[in-house]
Chains A and B, each alone.
Chain A
């Protein structure tokens, strides 16, 4: 499951969705808003998404991970809107029979979401300016 959320991510609830009788391992990743980037002090982020396509691409990534790794369940949610320091911007969780597949699948999902899903981050700096981040894909 992949979704875009305009409200705070209830990751306790998401984690419970991963539980199955056969899941001996659960791996969760929390991406949180930190107070600095590239040497500049940051005091918040805003995320924007092309929701329609982000939903489709996110589900495609989850399906790819289901195929590649021996996992039970996968859940990933990405925030949009204005976030404060410490807020969870993205959450990915995977359950599997064994830990190796759970770690690998969780890493795959978060890496691919960051690289492919049409979501953009605007950094708000302590000194007042703000700008969109558009990293080089190289």
Chain B
């Protein structure tokens, strides 16, 4: 399946890009993050991140669909 990823803050720096499209067999965000972390050398463990799919917070075991927009969110620091 094909997914669109957006990266913010430290994840954007580590990935060296703010977005990308990836072809992957990962069926949920947990598997997808493991794959991307290995590829980009992400230093966050999943327990420090939240995940959003198609613009809404969701959980790590949600089944992904083709062309989903997936975002892994580092701890926020607004304000």
Contact = CB atoms under 8 A, between A and B. Distances in A.
A110 B78 CA distance: 10
Interface secondary structure of A, over-half rule: mixed
A53 B55 contact: yes
Interface in A50-108: 50, 52-53, 56-57, 78, 89-90
Nearest to A123: B77
Contacts of B8: 48-50, 118, 120
Nearest to B13: A132
Given A53-B56, A132-B9, A121 B75 contact: no
Interface residues of A, number: 29
B54 to A, nearest CB: 9
A116 B79 CA distance: 11
23 contacts: A47-B78, A48-B8, A49-B8, A50-B6, A50-B73, A53-B71, A57-B57, A114-B77, A116-B76, A117-B76, A118-B8, A118-B73, A118-B76, A119-B77, A119-B79, A120-B8, A120-B77, A121-B77, A121-B79, A132-B77, A134-B74, A135-B75, A137-B48
